[in-house]
Amino acid sequence: MPKLAANLSMLFTEMDFLDRFKAAADTGFKGVEYLFPYDFNINDITKVLSDNDLKQVLFNLPAGDFAGGERGIACIPDREEEFRGGIEQAISYAQALKCSQLNCLAGKIPKNVSYERVEAIFIENIRYAAARLEKENISLVIEMINTIDIPGFFLNTTVQALQILKKINHSNVKLQFDIYHMQIMEGDVCRTIKNNLDTIQHIQLADNPGRHEPGTGELNYHFIFSWLDDTGYKGWVGCEHSPLSSTEAGMGWLKTYNQI
């Protein structure tokens, strides 16, 4: 059975952020992930993790003006100093929260900037991040996101990401594979996961269309969960789905799929 982590940016949003940890634990989750911790005191998060016996599985590097529509700055010209400062901030949180992996959102391709320049900036930033995080025993993942939900996002497919990983050429950076995003962009998610198991370090899930919980769309999660077990995937699976109604009402899928 895959290890499931509740994504607290998507689940239990009916309550305050720090209260979501207990709700996740009460539901049966052993791990949590979310977009960003930076608006909260490190000690407050550490306490709710400890109080509820939860593992911090993943969060993102700072991603620019997220509220204003930015979705990462790793590929954007003239933001390198800001990017490197964000790495240091993320390290301080990761060490306190005992989180051993961080995700980097690449960002949107700026207007009037060539793909080649954007790719070169992204590669250099990720090389720097991978090396800096390795010194702290923290691994880095990069994520492919569909072009419908985030038009203009730089990293969109597994093939593109694998090509870029070869150019980065650093052992401390791998892929975060979001089943929802990749179902939209390329399909064939199970075979892709199996063929790239050595490169995929973290997986996220949601059904499609709608990004709701498993069982609400076209994906056969009975098969997918069995497939992950059969392939020997040992990492976490983040439940990054938007409940069709309330979080509580949408949690029946965990029992249906024998996950918790």
Mind telling me the catalytic residues? 143, 240
Question: What spatial distance separates the first Cα and last Cα of the chain, rounded to whole Å?
Answer: 9
Q: Tokens 């923290």 correspond to what residue? A: 138
Phi, psi of 41 (to 5 degrees): -70, 135
d(CA 224, CA 237): 12
Cα Dmax for the chain: 50
Six-digit token pair at 164?
A: 């870029």
* 3-state DSSP helix/strand/coil % of the chain, to nearest 5: 40, 15, 45
Six-digit token pair at 49?
A: 């993790």
- Other beta carbons within 10 angstroms of residue 195's beta carbon come to 14
Look at residues 201, 134, 212 and name the one whose alpha carbon lies nearest to residue 161.
201
Six-digit token pair at 176?
A: 């975060």
Look at residues 177, 119, 125, 185 and name the one whose alpha carbon lies nearest to residue 150.
185
